[in-house]
Amino acid sequence: MDTYDPMDKWRSLRQRSFKEILWYIAVSSLIIAAIFGMFAMGLSWDAFAKWIGLAIFTAIPFGYFVSDSRVLWKTKTFWVFTLACLIVHCAAWTVVLVRVQHWKVIWFGPVIIELAILVFLRDRWFRGSHSKLKR
């Protein structure tokens, strides 16, 4: 019987190749440089909170949703569904962000509700064809 070893996660991190670690450092450095560059060019905090917040609060829930749906990755309809939801999400939030002058990052809270709706719809629409889908 396999037992869970919490150190497995750390072992896998230590086994990563030097090239992969350099890749992560390079991407992180580019993101940080882009943020500093935006502020150096005069980007306001409100604009930063709006658009970077949208990017973050899109990547986290959709990233979780896709990783939680691993069993459906080979299903074309799953990707069409996910892309359609992503387009609706981005379009709706863009309309809101363009119309609101001052934005607080906490106002992205409803994204949690979106994630719950995505999981509910996925479970409802894809459960019958994929019995391995958890929940």
Reported pTM: 0.69
What is the predicted pLDDT for the residue at 99?
92
97 is written with which tokens? 């962000």
| Confidence grade of residue 61 (pLDDT, cut at 50, 70, 90) | very high
R_g over Cα of the chain: 19
pLDDT, greater one: 107 or 129: 107
What does the H/E/C string look like for 72-126?
Answer: HCCCHHHHHHHHHHHHHHHHHHHHHHHHCCCCCHHHHCCHHHHHHHHHHHHHHHH
Residue with more model confidence, 92 or 39: 92
Lowest mean pLDDT among 3-12, 19-28, 79-88, 113-122: 3-12
For residue 131, pLDDT over 60 is answered with no
Break the chain into its structural domains and give their ranges.
1-43, 44-135
Distance, in Å, from the CA atom of 79 to the CA atom of 36, rounded to the nearest integer, reads 34
CA 114 – CA 49 distance, rounded (Å): 20
Average pLDDT, the chain: 84
Give the confidence band of 69 by pLDDT, cuts at 50, 70, 90.
very high
